Amino acid sequence: MTTYLIVSIASGVLFGVLDGFIHANPLAQRLYSVYSSIARATINPAAGIAIDLTYGFIMAAVFLLLYHSLPGETGIVKGLSFAILVWFFRVVMSAASTWIMFNIPIPTLIYNLVAGLVEILVLGILYGLTLKPMT
């Protein structure tokens, strides 16, 4: 239980750090300029931290729930399998919907896909290396 709490908090913090890097770097700023007319002028850091911590707890719990069903014999392979699964349902489906509904440049969508994959792989590796269900 202690490991779950520590890893959940660490992954929530990691979510926030990675999101900050992914969205605040110069390339992202250039690619995301398409959203400038609808983007918020300021962000609510407290809400962002709360959301990322919540994501950390939920993602770690789902990883543990799916652990025995994930392909692979080792935790790291299970973590990577989980990451690909989450990436598809979280990032790929969102990018496909965005592409259909909005006039967003393809490079922006590709950036979202690649950045999302890297972010989720890092989290999947963390889970795979640290979390094991109680037997």
| Domains in the chain: boundaries | 2-130
**Mean pLDDT value across the chain:** 93
Are residues 99 and 109 in contact, defined by beta-carbon separation less than 8 angstroms? yes
The alpha carbon of residue 88 and the mean position of all alpha carbons in its chain are separated, in whole angstroms, by 11
Identify the pLDDT of residue 23: 86
93-113 burial code (b ≥16 CB/10 A, e <16): eebeeeeeeeebeeebbebbb
pLDDT of 5-50, one tens digit each?
999 999 999 989 998 889 889 999 999 999 888 888 888 889 989 9
Token reading at 135: 């037997």
* Rounded CA separation 84/65 (Å): 16
Task: Assign 28 to helix, strand or coil.
Answer: helix
Which residues, in sequence order, are CB contacts of 57 under 8 Å at separation 6+?
8, 12
